[in-house]
Structure 1
Amino acid sequence: MKTDTFQTCECQALGGNVTSLATDYNPDALECTVETGRLNGVKIEVVRTDLDNGLSHLENKVDILLFNPPYVPTEEDPKNDLERCWAGGPNGRGAVDRFLPRVSKLLSEKGVFYLVALHSNNIPALLNACPDLVGSVAMERRCGIEHLYILKYTRKQI
């Protein structure tokens, strides 16, 4: 089971005030996230929602944004809560394609967005999917049968 789908960290000062917020549609995933944080001495606030719905107060305030979406390509879109944890729809990008247009609004001026993706999600297209952000491959590795990527996005320098 994934422990979270969407997590933000709002860093307010170099002194270390950090607010960690995780969202997920699945209440079990949120419970696991809280427990993982507790075991690691980190307080994580959780919100049950789809992606960032209801979190407009975070616009332009997120310094680090992490997204570990359901990325496995499936013939159909997920039909139940269990499938929503891993099934990404026909190209594995159902949730990703819904969320990418919203990323730029959430990020602070120097904010960074990290996305977990599978090779079959079309990495070159994902890197260019946010017109006002620059995408790059931060990490690539094979994990069993999966060829995984961590993609990093930053604001374009003007």
Structure 2
Amino acid sequence: MQVSNTMRVSNKATSYTFQTCECQALGGNVTSLATDYNPDALECTVETGRLNGVKIEVVRTDLDNGLSHLENKVDILLFNPPYVPTEEDPKNDLERCWAGGPNGRGAVDRFLPRVSKLLSEKGVFYLVALHSNNIPALLNACPDLVGSVAMERRCGIEHLYILKYTRKQI
């Protein structure tokens, strides 16, 4: 990945902190913003950035609530949502970290309709998903974007995917 001019990296659910640090380490004018509902996760994000010599702005919010000033400005959007299917929706902060609700897509289904509004003209969105989250449906969930599988691998009992979305070319 090359950084040219200004790049805005937005990180939804702060477990992508290392990738955010890597983007800044490439040089250039990179602004990194991480959001999470969990204040402990945000604190860890700031500390990880500090230990890696990069500044990451953090905002405690649900997904991108209150961040309308970012519309059409995000070049790289990373989202590692709570994707584990559970019988019920999460009830507390700890469960919100991993429990994705009945189909594992509670947070994902709320966020996907907002992605195209956040991405810049050449913006890219990466999403972590579990095989049981219905990958074909996820790839087609954003009508303004083209979805593809960037990576697939097994990690213990999980069958994980990194999905990549870009704007449709006219």
The answer to whether TM tops 0.5 is: yes
CA distance in 2, matches of 1:53, 1:79: 20
Measured after TM superposition, the shift of residue 139 of structure 1 is: 0.5
Across the aligned residues of Structure 1 and Structure 2, the Cα RMSD in angstroms comes to: 2.7
Measured after TM superposition, the shift of residue 40 of structure 1 is: 1.3
Q: Secondary structure of the residue that 1:53 maps to in structure 2?
A: coil
CA distance in 1, matches of 2:24, 2:156: 38
- Aligned match of 2:74 in 48, 59, 62? 62
More helix by share: 2
Equivalent residue for 2:59?
Answer: 47
Q: Secondary structure of the residue that 1:43 maps to in structure 2?
A: coil
Superposition TM-score, scaled by structure 1 size: 0.91
CA distance in 2, matches of 1:141, 1:71: 15
State the percentage of identical aligned residues: 100
CA distance in 2, matches of 1:56, 1:97: 19
Structure 1: runs of 5 or more not aligned: none
Measured after TM superposition, the shift of residue 99 of structure 1 is: 0.1
Measured after TM superposition, the shift of residue 41 of structure 1 is: 1.4
Q: Deviations over 1:3-34 (max 9, x none)?
A: xx999899999971010000000000000111
The alignment covers a number of residue pairs equal to: 154
Equivalent residue for 2:113?
Answer: 101
CA distance in 1, matches of 2:82, 2:147: 20
CA contact (8 A) 1:7 1:21 kept: no
Runs of 4+ aligned residues of structure 1 deviating over 2 Å after TM superposition are 5-15
Q: Which range moved further: 9-18 or 146-155? A: 9-18
User: Which aligned pairs between 1:104-115 and structure 2 lie closer than 5 A?
Assistant: 104-115=116-127
CA distance in 2, matches of 1:89, 1:150: 20
Q: Secondary structure of the residue that 1:46 maps to in structure 2?
A: strand
CA distance in 2, matches of 1:59, 1:87: 28
CA distance in 1, matches of 2:25, 2:71: 18
